[in-house]
Amino acid sequence: MLTLSTKCYISTQGEEGIKSFKYKGGSDSIFYSYFWSPLCDYLVKNYFPSYLAPNSITLIGFLIHLVAHIIVLYYSPDLKQTLPQWLCFLLSFSLLTYQILDNCDGKQARATGSSSPLGMLFDHGCDALTTWIVTLNTAAVFKYKKLHYYIIQFIQLDQFHSFQECGVNIIAGHLDQ
Protein backbone atom coordinates (compact mmCIF):
# COMPACT_ATOMS: atom_id res chain seq x y z
CA MET A 1 0.00 0.00 0.00
CA LEU A 2 1.48 3.38 -1.04
CA THR A 3 1.07 5.94 1.69
CA LEU A 4 2.30 9.40 2.42
CA SER A 5 1.91 10.15 6.11
CA THR A 6 -1.23 8.30 7.21
CA LYS A 7 -3.35 8.70 4.07
CA CYS A 8 -3.57 5.77 1.63
CA TYR A 9 -3.46 6.82 -2.04
CA ILE A 10 -3.29 3.46 -3.80
CA SER A 11 -5.10 0.41 -2.51
CA THR A 12 -3.48 -3.01 -2.36
CA GLN A 13 -5.57 -4.05 -5.36
CA GLY A 14 -4.42 -0.95 -7.25
CA GLU A 15 -0.81 -1.69 -6.37
CA GLU A 16 -1.17 -5.21 -7.80
CA GLY A 17 -2.70 -3.73 -10.94
CA ILE A 18 0.27 -1.42 -11.37
CA LYS A 19 2.72 -4.31 -10.92
CA SER A 20 0.90 -6.47 -13.47
CA PHE A 21 0.45 -3.68 -16.05
CA LYS A 22 1.58 -4.57 -19.56
CA TYR A 23 1.53 -1.95 -22.29
CA LYS A 24 -0.11 -2.92 -25.56
CA GLY A 25 0.41 -0.54 -28.45
CA GLY A 26 -0.87 -1.03 -31.91
CA SER A 27 -2.60 0.54 -34.83
CA ASP A 28 -5.33 -0.19 -37.32
CA SER A 29 -3.90 2.45 -39.65
CA ILE A 30 -3.09 1.32 -43.18
CA PHE A 31 -0.23 3.84 -43.38
CA TYR A 32 1.27 2.58 -40.12
CA SER A 33 0.84 -1.08 -41.07
CA TYR A 34 2.31 -0.82 -44.56
CA PHE A 35 4.79 2.03 -44.24
CA TRP A 36 5.83 3.18 -40.74
CA SER A 37 6.04 -0.20 -39.05
CA PRO A 38 7.99 -1.98 -41.83
CA LEU A 39 10.31 1.03 -42.24
CA CYS A 40 11.09 1.15 -38.53
CA ASP A 41 11.48 -2.64 -38.32
CA TYR A 42 14.04 -2.41 -41.12
CA LEU A 43 15.91 0.48 -39.51
CA VAL A 44 16.07 -1.18 -36.08
CA LYS A 45 17.17 -4.51 -37.54
CA ASN A 46 19.83 -3.11 -39.88
CA TYR A 47 21.08 0.18 -38.43
CA PHE A 48 20.53 0.32 -34.67
CA PRO A 49 23.12 -1.51 -32.55
CA SER A 50 21.71 -3.71 -29.80
CA TYR A 51 23.51 -1.68 -27.11
CA LEU A 52 21.62 1.50 -28.09
CA ALA A 53 19.08 2.20 -25.35
CA PRO A 54 15.52 2.88 -26.54
CA ASN A 55 15.30 5.99 -24.33
CA SER A 56 18.38 7.41 -26.06
CA ILE A 57 16.60 6.99 -29.42
CA THR A 58 13.63 8.89 -28.00
CA LEU A 59 15.89 11.59 -26.59
CA ILE A 60 17.86 12.02 -29.85
CA GLY A 61 14.64 12.47 -31.83
CA PHE A 62 13.27 14.93 -29.30
CA LEU A 63 16.51 16.95 -29.17
CA ILE A 64 16.66 17.23 -32.97
CA HIS A 65 13.15 18.66 -32.98
CA LEU A 66 13.86 20.90 -29.98
CA VAL A 67 16.98 22.37 -31.63
CA ALA A 68 14.93 23.19 -34.74
CA HIS A 69 12.39 24.94 -32.51
CA ILE A 70 15.14 26.95 -30.78
CA ILE A 71 16.30 28.10 -34.22
CA VAL A 72 12.71 29.18 -34.96
CA LEU A 73 12.71 31.22 -31.75
CA TYR A 74 15.99 32.86 -32.81
CA TYR A 75 14.52 33.97 -36.15
CA SER A 76 11.04 34.75 -34.82
CA PRO A 77 10.99 35.25 -31.03
CA ASP A 78 7.36 36.38 -31.05
CA LEU A 79 6.38 33.90 -33.81
CA LYS A 80 5.37 36.77 -36.14
CA GLN A 81 8.37 37.17 -38.46
CA THR A 82 8.60 35.32 -41.76
CA LEU A 83 10.85 32.29 -41.42
CA PRO A 84 13.50 31.49 -44.04
CA GLN A 85 12.53 28.69 -46.42
CA TRP A 86 15.45 26.54 -45.30
CA LEU A 87 14.14 26.72 -41.73
CA CYS A 88 10.69 25.53 -42.84
CA PHE A 89 12.43 22.61 -44.54
CA LEU A 90 14.44 21.96 -41.37
CA LEU A 91 11.22 21.91 -39.33
CA SER A 92 9.72 19.35 -41.71
CA PHE A 93 12.87 17.24 -41.60
CA SER A 94 13.11 17.42 -37.80
CA LEU A 95 9.46 16.39 -37.36
CA LEU A 96 9.86 13.49 -39.80
CA THR A 97 13.03 12.41 -37.99
CA TYR A 98 11.23 12.61 -34.65
CA GLN A 99 8.33 10.50 -35.96
CA ILE A 100 10.67 7.84 -37.32
CA LEU A 101 12.77 7.66 -34.16
CA ASP A 102 9.63 7.71 -32.00
CA ASN A 103 8.40 4.62 -33.83
CA CYS A 104 11.83 2.96 -33.66
CA ASP A 105 12.31 3.31 -29.90
CA GLY A 106 9.56 0.84 -28.99
CA LYS A 107 10.74 -1.64 -31.61
CA GLN A 108 14.28 -1.35 -30.24
CA ALA A 109 12.98 -1.91 -26.69
CA ARG A 110 11.14 -5.06 -27.75
CA ALA A 111 14.09 -6.30 -29.82
CA THR A 112 16.50 -5.90 -26.89
CA GLY A 113 14.03 -6.97 -24.20
CA SER A 114 14.40 -3.64 -22.43
CA SER A 115 10.78 -2.43 -22.43
CA SER A 116 9.83 -0.75 -19.18
CA PRO A 117 7.09 1.45 -17.73
CA LEU A 118 9.71 4.19 -17.25
CA GLY A 119 10.59 4.00 -20.96
CA MET A 120 6.92 4.28 -21.88
CA LEU A 121 6.53 7.28 -19.57
CA PHE A 122 9.62 8.94 -21.05
CA ASP A 123 8.41 8.28 -24.61
CA HIS A 124 4.91 9.61 -23.96
CA GLY A 125 6.33 12.62 -22.10
CA CYS A 126 8.48 13.51 -25.12
CA ASP A 127 5.43 13.02 -27.35
CA ALA A 128 3.43 15.46 -25.22
CA LEU A 129 6.19 18.08 -25.31
CA THR A 130 6.60 17.60 -29.06
CA THR A 131 2.89 18.26 -29.59
CA TRP A 132 3.34 21.71 -28.06
CA ILE A 133 6.52 22.34 -30.05
CA VAL A 134 4.70 21.41 -33.28
CA THR A 135 1.89 23.79 -32.32
CA LEU A 136 4.31 26.66 -31.73
CA ASN A 137 6.24 25.89 -34.92
CA THR A 138 3.00 25.85 -36.91
CA ALA A 139 2.09 29.20 -35.38
CA ALA A 140 5.51 30.56 -36.40
CA VAL A 141 5.34 29.22 -39.97
CA PHE A 142 1.88 30.70 -40.54
CA LYS A 143 2.48 33.77 -38.32
CA TYR A 144 -0.56 33.10 -36.16
CA LYS A 145 -1.41 35.37 -33.31
CA LYS A 146 -1.48 34.05 -29.75
CA LEU A 147 -5.10 32.86 -29.74
CA HIS A 148 -4.60 30.77 -32.85
CA TYR A 149 -2.08 28.35 -31.41
CA TYR A 150 -4.45 27.52 -28.59
CA ILE A 151 -7.02 26.75 -31.27
CA ILE A 152 -4.49 24.56 -33.11
CA GLN A 153 -3.78 22.69 -29.87
CA PHE A 154 -7.50 22.14 -29.30
CA ILE A 155 -7.93 20.87 -32.87
CA GLN A 156 -5.06 18.40 -32.42
CA LEU A 157 -6.60 17.12 -29.20
CA ASP A 158 -10.06 16.93 -30.77
CA GLN A 159 -8.74 15.11 -33.84
CA PHE A 160 -6.97 12.51 -31.73
CA HIS A 161 -10.03 11.74 -29.62
CA SER A 162 -12.49 11.96 -32.54
CA PHE A 163 -10.51 9.48 -34.61
CA GLN A 164 -10.22 7.11 -31.70
CA GLU A 165 -13.86 7.38 -30.61
CA CYS A 166 -15.37 7.24 -34.10
CA GLY A 167 -13.42 4.15 -35.08
CA VAL A 168 -11.68 5.66 -38.10
CA ASN A 169 -8.25 4.49 -36.97
CA ILE A 170 -7.74 2.80 -40.32
CA ILE A 171 -7.01 6.21 -41.88
CA ALA A 172 -5.50 7.85 -38.80
CA GLY A 173 -1.96 7.61 -37.58
CA HIS A 174 -0.70 5.34 -34.84
CA LEU A 175 -2.95 5.48 -31.76
CA ASP A 176 -2.21 3.68 -28.52
CA GLN A 177 -4.77 1.14 -27.42
CB 25 within 8 A of CB 176: yes
Q: Is 124 a catalytic residue?
A: yes
CB 96 within 8 A of CB 61: no
CA distance 175 to 28: 8
CB 93 within 8 A of CB 61: no
Catalytic-labelled residue, pool 69, 124, 148, 174: 124
Of 104, 95, 108, whose CA–CA distance to 64 is shortest? Answer: 95
* Residue 2: its H or E element: strand 2-4
CA distance 45 to 161: 33
* Residue 8: its H or E element: strand 7-10
Give how far the C-alpha of residue 110 lies from the chain's centroid of Cα atoms, to the nearest Å.
18
CB 44 within 8 A of CB 103: no
Annotated catalytic sites, by residue? 124
